[in-house]
Structure 1
Amino acid sequence: MSVAGVVVDDAGRVLLIQRRDNGHWEPPGGVLELDEAVHEGLCREIREETGLEVEPGRLTGVYKNMARGIIALVFRCRVVGGDLVETGEAKAFRWARTDELDGLMAEAFAVRVQDALRDGNAPAVREHDGVRVV
């Protein structure tokens, strides 16, 4: 299972990382360790990829990659410490506005950010093929 954090700043922008392995822009996150609690793993992944300490908020979506069988849990987060630093996983960072998402990332990842920014209590549940929502 994987987790991702939609880290939102006071201006309503979201933090995106540019992955070193494929150059894609995505919210930070990754695969949970076997013995790791969900929020613990989320915070670890974001810290490892960005240098930031975050506080997880509500679960905003559950997404299944139908081609690979991976389920991702996405949480809205806020920064509580640390500084952005390049890492072995992220070569660049960007605070993006919602109107910039479609030009930066695949639909399967842009929808995660859009869902996290929507008001409401119920998380979205969606399927995708790795690129497009199906």
Structure 2
Amino acid sequence: MNEPKHIIAVAAYVANENGEVLLVKTHWRSDTWEIPGGQVEAGEPLDQAVCREVLEETGIEIRPIGITGVYYNETKRVVAVVFKAAYVKGEIKVQPEEIKEAKFVELDETNIDEYITRPHFKSRTLDAMKAKHCIPYETWKVRPNQLIRRLDGIIH
């Protein structure tokens, strides 16, 4: 099998009912906090992948709203799609082999550098934090054409 030309990753900007943002610290990037996410599996819709990744990493169930940005890591050939998502339910419970720590944080532009030390993660988080609108996302089945799911990208 040929190596994929690009890796697709997803991440979610999730705030709880208190406005605190869900952040994780991984074992392999323990110098920074970041919004939770990970690699999309073959054939997996992006909105389902982001739900799965956040649940696996943190124990938190989310509802994706829409996309706040698409980012490309040229070195690793990773296309990262960031969703804004609503907190649905759950208590933080990390997967210890992957996630070192996870927590909800009062995060804003004045303290983001205390948590997110890598500039590309900071950029993604700030874009999602400031987003007044999201880009809609659709999943389709083609032949016959059938819309499976649509996120309208409307932030309430």
The reply on whether 1:95 has 2:107 as its aligned counterpart is no
Q: C-alpha separation between the residues in 1 aligned to 2:98 and 2:111?
A: 22
Match of 1:128 in 2: none
CA contact (8 A) 2:92 2:103 kept: no
Q: 1:81 to 1:122 in 2, by over 3 A?
A: closer
Give how far 1:120 is off: 3.1
SS of 1:25's equivalent in the other structure is coil
Match of 2:74 in 1: 66
Q: Counting helix residues as a fraction of each chain, which structure ranks higher?
A: 1
Q: C-alpha separation between the residues in 2 aligned to 1:118 and 1:49?
A: 24
Match of 1:54 in 2: 62
Moved over 3 A (4+): none
Residue deviations 1:72-120 (CA, integer Å, cap 9, x gap): 0000112112211121221212323112212222111011111111143
**TM-score (structure 2 length as normaliser):** 0.73
Q: C-alpha separation between the residues in 2 aligned to 1:112 and 1:78?
A: 17
Question: % of aligned pairs identical?
Answer: 33
- Specify every segment of 5 or more residues in structure 1 that has no aligned partner in the other structure, as ranges: 124-134
Q: With CA pairs under 8 Å and 6+ residues apart, which has the higher RCO, 1 or 2? A: 1
Q: C-alpha separation between the residues in 2 aligned to 1:122 and 1:77?
A: 10
Larger radius of gyration: 2
Q: 1:8 to 1:72 in 2, by over 3 A?
A: same
Q: C-alpha separation between the residues in 1 aligned to 2:94 and 2:20?
A: 19
Give how far 1:122 is off: 5.8
What is the count of residue pairs matched by the alignment? 123
Q: C-alpha separation between the residues in 2 aligned to 1:90 and 1:27?
A: 12
Q: Amino acid of the residue matched to residue 123 of structure 2?
A: V
- Specify every segment of 5 or more residues in structure 2 that has no aligned partner in the other structure, as ranges: 1-7, 136-156
